[in-house]
Structure 1
Amino acid sequence: MTALLDIASLGGHTMGTTWQVKLVVPSGRDLHPLHAGIQARLDAVVAQMSTWEADSDISRFNRAAPGTALPLPALFAEVMDGALDIARRSDGAFDPTVGPLVALWGFGAHAHARRVPDAALLAATRARCGWQRLQWQHGGLLQPGALELDLSAIAKGFAVDLVTRWLRAGQISAALVEVGGELHGYGRKPDAQPWRVLVEAGPEEEAALAHPPRVLALDGLAVATSGDRFHQFIQDGTHYSHTLDPRVGRPVSRSAAAVTVVARDALHADGWATALTVMGIESGLAFANAHGMAARFITRTAHGIDEHLSTAFAGLLAEQEAAT
């Protein structure tokens, strides 16, 4: 006799935020091993890649002496490969070495006071950054000197992917995995429907848009959103976002209120959402269209809130609407 299937919900805390997993399992299955296994994967990401933990692998790299080549654990190395690929392809709009600049502007694990830094200090801090300074040597990642990695713009996405992989390997036929707002869904629910999620920018922005809410079906797809509504400060009437443009060392100006990217994995959705935010609406949308990326930009203008969809994002919505 075939076992009845239920949707179970598990959740917890990681990386200063929450995680939630909905998964299809036989009725009555013991969920404790699944919860423990998910938490263990998330804890592994923290242990390797959290700048908030003094004994993490990334913190040890950041403290390493110049000229030291540190072997990286497998997960950390995988994320670095992805981060450097996005850095190259975005021409530095995404940069995993931007940590000191983030701190200088008052954000992140080692934040200074939130204020506009003086020009000399900004120039000196910029000189310590730059993804081009990173290179693999003798089986390890070379610390060129005073370089500090920060993977906060990509680690949550990777954590989603890691949990998804583990669930698939454990023969979980369908799941929706979410860590701090980054999502990946695969498989079908017991009613044969895919996981559906609402694409959000923020309550105020969504309320001002003149179209129905955007809903995506996630079956083998991930979605991540980069936004400016949570971390920012105001000085002399100017808003400064926590999203920095590594190419100039300053918070992005006239940034989109939110940029959402849909991709096959959450690492790339997460990283590219940040990169496109840094590029801005015109360059970012052009880049997304040129590279076939599914991206949605929400911008604030003097006339209200605007939405801009890449060709691939609009096509995905149309395809999914036709399938319902």
Structure 2
Amino acid sequence: MTSSPLDIATLGGQTMGTTWSAKLVAGRNRDLHALHAGIQARLDTVVAQMSTWEPQSDISRYNRAAGGWQRLPPEFFNVLQAAQAIARSSGGAFDPTVGPMVELWGFGAGAHPQRVPAAAEIAAVAARVGWQRLELRPDGHEALQPGGLQLDLSAIAKGFGVDLATAWLRQAGIDAALVEVGGELAGYGRKPDGAPWQVLVESAPEEDDAAGLPPRVLALDGMAVATSGDRWHRFDAGGQRYSHTFDARLGRPVVSAAAAVTVVAEDAMHADGWATALTVMGAQAGLELAEREGLAARFLVRDGNGLRETFSGAFAARMEAGA
């Protein structure tokens, strides 16, 4: 009996306040409903564990806890451990304890109208923020709640959701797929014609209108890509643009953030987290860190002449290699 011909199937749905999609290579008689349900179930797991919008999620329960060691589900703990590692390597440019600050400025689950808080308010909240206050016990998947610590993993959880869905598709016998959650992507395997999955690197609104920069196309085969920047969520006040990306070191959103920062990595969780960290650091310091860490990163920044593009050596190598 011959195997059924392979087609590219497209699935999609809702998760984490955004959408997800998956293109996968499967036989024509494959049960796509089961594959869809499997992906949605993995993404629902991320929401149930790491969404601050869900009062009964594991992260919400941790944030409400009075103090002491809190046992976490393994997925939640793994993401938190990765977030801590990125925080340490970036000198706090990425900070998973930024929750109270996000709410103060009018972003996040407890959002009120976005505003610039008074200096005293910022100082009071800053005293409750700091990745150094978070202690982890890997053996028991435990995290210390020192009292008043509020985690926010929104800058890394979508990427992890991509990884979780991708891993499940592999286990389900899907040999090639491209998975996307809210703009974060991971791809593996080849399409039926033997070509890799190709994606266009996300840009800035003005770049979409042709800014003279060449489009950057990446081939994803066992790789992931994430983009952070100010085109998604921001507000303007007093002639200043504030992005939804926070610099916990300063107690405020990043001012005049890069239009887009893209990171390519082996998994979407790290690509997602590092894209945020490098956005906080800014193009110059971020590029220096990317070179030291061997990160494949692209920065798109605004200057007086429009948009300027810079990228790390690892990113240039990926473009040259077509992967």
Q: TM-score, normalised by structure 1?
A: 0.96
In the alignment, is residue 12 of structure 1 matched against residue 13 of structure 2? yes
Give a deviation string over 1:232-282, Cα, whole Å, max 9, x none: 111111111111111111111232011000000000000000000000010
In the alignment, is residue 194 of structure 1 matched against residue 196 of structure 2? yes
Q: What is the rounded CA distance, in whole Å, between the counterparts of 1:218 and 1:65 in structure 2?
A: 44
The alpha-carbon deviation at position 128 of structure 1 amounts to: 0.4
AA aligned opposite 1:123: A
Give a deviation string over 1:194-217, Cα, whole Å, max 9, x none: 000011213322434323311100
Q: What is the rounded CA distance, in whole Å, between the counterparts of 1:205 and 1:247 in structure 2?
A: 30
Give a deviation string over 1:24-75, Cα, whole Å, max 9, x none: 0011211111111110000000000000000000000000012x21100011
Q: What is the rounded CA distance, in whole Å, between the counterparts of 1:210 and 1:290 in structure 2?
A: 29
Show the 5 A alignment for 1:98-109.
98-109=98-109
Aligned to 2:126: 126
Maintained 8 Å contact 1:256/1:299: yes
SS of 1:100 mapped into structure 2: helix
AA aligned opposite 1:120: A
Aligned to 1:77: 77
AA aligned opposite 2:261: V
Maintained 8 Å contact 2:196/2:221: yes
Q: What is the rounded CA distance, in whole Å, between the counterparts of 1:264 and 1:69 in structure 2?
A: 32
Give a deviation string over 1:279-313, Cα, whole Å, max 9, x none: 00100011111221111101111111111111111
The alpha-carbon deviation at position 108 of structure 1 amounts to: 0.8
Instruction: Say which is worse superposed, 298-307 or 176-185, in terms of deviation.
Output: 298-307
Give a deviation string over 1:143-172, Cα, whole Å, max 9, x none: 101110000000000000000111111111
Aligned to 2:205: 203
Q: What is the rounded CA distance, in whole Å, between the counterparts of 2:317 and 2:212 in structure 1?
A: 19
Count how many residue pairs are aligned between Structure 1 and Structure 2: 320
SS of 2:12 mapped into structure 1: strand
Aligned to 1:111: 111
Show the 5 A alignment for 1:15-164.
15-66=16-67, 68-136=68-136, 139=140, 140-164=142-166
In the alignment, is residue 249 of structure 1 matched against residue 233 of structure 2? no
Q: What is the rounded CA distance, in whole Å, between the counterparts of 1:78 and 1:46 in structure 2?
A: 15
Instruction: Say which is worse superposed, 208-217 or 171-180, in terms of deviation.
Output: 208-217
AA aligned opposite 2:63: N
Aligned to 2:239: 237
Show the 5 A alignment for 1:289-300.
289-300=291-302
Maintained 8 Å contact 1:209/1:307: no
CA separation of 1:51/1:242 partners in 2, compared to 1, >3 Å: closer, same or farther? same
Maintained 8 Å contact 1:197/1:215: yes
Maintained 8 Å contact 2:207/2:213: no
Q: What is the rounded CA distance, in whole Å, between the counterparts of 1:208 and 1:238 in structure 2?
A: 25
Aligned to 2:305: 303
Give the CA RMSD over aligned residues: 1.3
Q: What is the rounded CA distance, in whole Å, between the counterparts of 2:213 and 2:113 in structure 1?
A: 40
Q: What is the rounded CA distance, in whole Å, between the counterparts of 2:256 and 2:16 in structure 1?
A: 28
Q: What is the rounded CA distance, in whole Å, between the counterparts of 1:206 and 1:295 in structure 2?
A: 20
Q: What is the rounded CA distance, in whole Å, between the counterparts of 2:321 and 2:136 in structure 1?
A: 42
Aligned to 1:258: 260
Show the 5 A alignment for 1:215-230.
215-230=217-232
Gaps of 5+ in 1: none
AA aligned opposite 1:115: R
Q: How many percent identity over aligned positions?
A: 65
AA aligned opposite 2:26: V
Instruction: Say which is worse superposed, 287-296 or 37-46, in terms of deviation.
Output: 287-296
The alpha-carbon deviation at position 230 of structure 1 amounts to: 2.3
Q: What is the rounded CA distance, in whole Å, between the counterparts of 2:22 and 2:95 in structure 1?
A: 29
Aligned to 1:214: 216
Aligned to 1:278: 280
Q: What is the rounded CA distance, in whole Å, between the counterparts of 1:203 and 1:175 in structure 2?
A: 28
